[in-house]
Homo-oligomer: A and B are copies of this chain.
Amino acid sequence: MNDTFLKACRGEKTDYTPVWIMRQAGRYLAEYRNIRSKVEFLTLCKTPDLAAEVTIQPLEILNADAAILFSDILIPLEPMGIKLEFSESKGPIIHNPVKSERDIDNLRNINPDEELHFVIETIKILLKNIKVPLIGFSGAPFTLATYMIEGGSSKNFLKAKRMIYQSPESFHRLMELITDNTIRYLLSQIKAGVQAVQIFDSWAGTLSPLDFSLFALPYVKRIISAINNSVPVIYFAFNSSSMIELAKTSGADVIGLDWRIEVANAVERLGGDVSIQGNLDPCILFGTDEVIKERVSLILKGARKAKGHIFNLGHGILPETSVDKAILMVEAVHERSIR
């Protein structure tokens, strides 16, 4: 077992910097597209053999130091009572968005071991078949709540913010419910054997620092506290580089960074008691090989004083990316970080 990734999470010395890529199981891989041409996205998430297969694909192709469970952050919302569809053109659509107190009343608590058994089974298949740590994950409550209220992706998050600024008690009630169930879901994954978890807060960056503190962070803290150091936790709040000190108060072992901040500056602001993950702009992979290598080196150099560093992109890899460029990046990280 290659445990470089776990060591970096915990801030232990490693021989080189471990690397994985957000959305490493995805459309930029012909092998993934081949499977997706036969099954719908939701079916893929719910079929353990296939979900395990696409999770494994990038490990061999890229030589990544960690696997991440193939799934979607919205999956646990279905047993809560949310009617979910993944549209090829529009992304996720929620057919019964949360509009009222009554909609919140109608949400159910989940039993992940039963209702999300396919996830547990996928984890078990993977643990028998991979030689790198397996990362489990969930969405952060704020991000899940915005999807539930907006009914899908959103530009300005007006519906969610209207609830926040008009009926904060309703919003907090929804967040409590989501948090309870996210804890159940992550604890199930951990019990099944994932060796780390990442909490994706894709939309927290749409909040001001005050609202991040009031309406998003307390719930992330509660989740991390419930995980109780059983596995390392990565907290990735996209587009909140101006608020990383706040993100750190979540108690996560690793703070995920997007590319809007220099790593050295992030390390200085975060201090030496937390590891970092990141942070190459996914678009750099559309550059020349030289540009990619140069930028990898700059990030590695910037991270030298970090407690631990896991190399990653600053967001998911884009479907248009050439797989050769992704391989080149992983090689560059490995070669240029040998200590």
Contacts and interface: CB of A to CB of B under 8 A. Distances in A.
Nearest to A160: B283
B260 A240 contact: yes
A156 interface: yes
Interface residues of A, number: 36
Given A158-B320, A239-B239, A318-B158, A260 B165 contact: no
Interface stretch (A29-37, A71-79, A178-186, A285-293): A285-293
Contacts of A286: 158, 161-162, 165-166
Given A165-B286, A283-B162, A288-B166, A209 B157 contact: no
Contact of A283 (B158, B210, B241, B282): B158
A209 B284 CA distance: 13
Contacts of A259: 208
Nearest to A295: B210
Interface string A115-148: 0000000000000000000000000000000000
Contact of A156 (B208, B239, B261, B282): B282
Nearest to A240: B260
A58 to B, nearest CB: 20
A3 interface: no
Contacts of A262: 208-210
A262 B240 CA distance: 13
Contacts of A281: 161, 207-208, 211
A298 B210 CA distance: 10
Given A286-B158, A320-B158, A291 B165 contact: yes
Interface of A: 156-158, 161-162, 164-166, 205, 207-211, 239-243, 259-262, 265, 281-284, 286-288, 291, 298, 314, 318, 320
